[in-house]
Amino acid sequence: MNAPLRPKPTQFQPAARGTDGSLAGFLLTRRAGVGAIAVVLLAIAAGVLVWNRVGEFVRWGDGYQLRPEMVELLGGAPWVRGDLKAEAMRSASLDGGLPLADSELATRLARAFDMHPWVKQVVRVEIKHPARAIVEILCREPVAMVSVRGGLLAVDADGFVLPSADFAPESAAEYPRITGVDSSPQGPEGSRWGDRVVEEGASVAVVIGPEWRTLGIVECRPIVMQGMRMWELVGPEGRTILFGGAPGREAAGEPSVAEKVVRLKALEGDSSGQRVDLTTSEGRQPST
């Protein structure tokens, strides 16, 4: 008779440490890794604490900030008498120094110079290390003085108003004078005058260029003929030269700007008192 089968006793084995799913067990089995992580976290926390205490001192230290004397300005013009760099940085409140860590440093410098009335364009801004910057600009160039109540205001070829303080009376006299303007500038220095008459007069001054001096022209004034605005140049002893429409606004059949300039050059040395008309083929009209 077969002996009855006995169930096999269940053998008890102690559970491996850390396999019970508890946090304590997990930490016990990974003591070395947890220790390394703790060291790293402590180092990071210590670094943050130290930076919070000394970061501002570092950011504003001599080697980590940009001062006005560390900015090199390229593109300045001889007719700008003031300190353009100092004025631009002071107006933008940047003359106290700027931290090199500022991610907007180049943008802030470009904006500061772009706001200066003499600056037509900021070509580039380059930040260097150690603290140094290069700012390249393109300056506006005066082409004429507009006669207004109380004096003269300088304008460039596009009719932008330029800083009057940079022109002494003797230097202002070297530029052609635009008269017959009834308006005042619609904005501050560095903005457009806001009057087409001024813009047209400036464009006439640009195309005539050096002929102003060789012909002794002292005034450029608008007149109305046949319902349209034309420009008349006034020379010595009351001599007048009818230039015609401003560049790009000539009447039908009127000679080109290039033809007018050629005829102007031919007048050099001619001291006759006749009235000269550059809008017709005859060129001269008897004095009236």
> What residues have CB less than 8 Å from 126, skipping those under 6 apart?
106, 133, 134, 135
Q: How many CB atoms lie within 10 A of CB 283?
A: 16
Contact between 201 and 127 under an 8 Å Cβ cutoff? The reply is: no
Phi-psi domain of 10 (left: phi exceeds 0; alpha: psi -120 through 50; beta: other) = beta
User: Which pLDDT belongs to residue 60?
Assistant: 44
CA dihedral of residues 245, 248, 250, 255 (deg, nearest 10): 100
For residues 265-285, give the mean pLDDT. Answer: 74
User: Which pLDDT belongs to residue 102?
Assistant: 87
In this predicted structure, the answer to whether residue 274 has a pLDDT above a threshold of 90 is: no
pTM above 0.85, yes or no: no
User: Which pLDDT belongs to residue 273?
Assistant: 60
Average pLDDT in the chain: 82
- Domain locations in the chain as residue ranges: 64-139, 142-285
CA dihedral of residues 63, 107, 113, 123 (deg, nearest 10): 110
Two tokens at 8?
């096999």
In this predicted structure, the answer to whether residue 144 has a pLDDT above a threshold of 70 is: yes
Residues of the chain with pLDDT > 70: what percent? 74
For residues 102-108, give the mean pLDDT. Answer: 92
Domain 64-139 classification at class level: alpha beta
CA atoms within 13 A on the CB side of 111: 8
Model confidence at 241, in pLDDT bands (50, 70, 90)?
very high
For residues 29-53, give the mean pLDDT. Answer: 56
In this predicted structure, the answer to whether residue 284 has a pLDDT above a threshold of 60 is: no
Two tokens at 114?
């772009």
Q: Which residue has the higher pLDDT, 102 or 201?
A: 201
What angle do the packed helices 105-114 and 84-91 form, to 10 degrees? 110
User: Which pLDDT belongs to residue 51?
Assistant: 40
pLDDT digits (tens, 9 = 90+) for 150-178: 899 999 999 999 998 899 888 898 899 99
Model confidence at 286, in pLDDT bands (50, 70, 90)?
very low
Give the Cα separation of 186 and 254 in Å (integer).
Answer: 32
Model confidence at 88, in pLDDT bands (50, 70, 90)?
very high
pLDDT digits (tens, 9 = 90+) for 210-238: 888 888 888 999 999 988 999 999 987 77
User: Which pLDDT belongs to residue 128?
Assistant: 87
For residues 11-15, give the mean pLDDT. Answer: 46
In this predicted structure, the answer to whether residue 28 has a pLDDT above a threshold of 60 is: no
Residue corresponding to tokens 């002494």: 168
Q: Which residue has the higher pLDDT, 206 or 287?
A: 206
Q: Which of 7-11, 48-52, 59-63, 205-209 has the highest mean pLDDT?
A: 205-209
In this predicted structure, the answer to whether residue 12 has a pLDDT above a threshold of 50 is: no
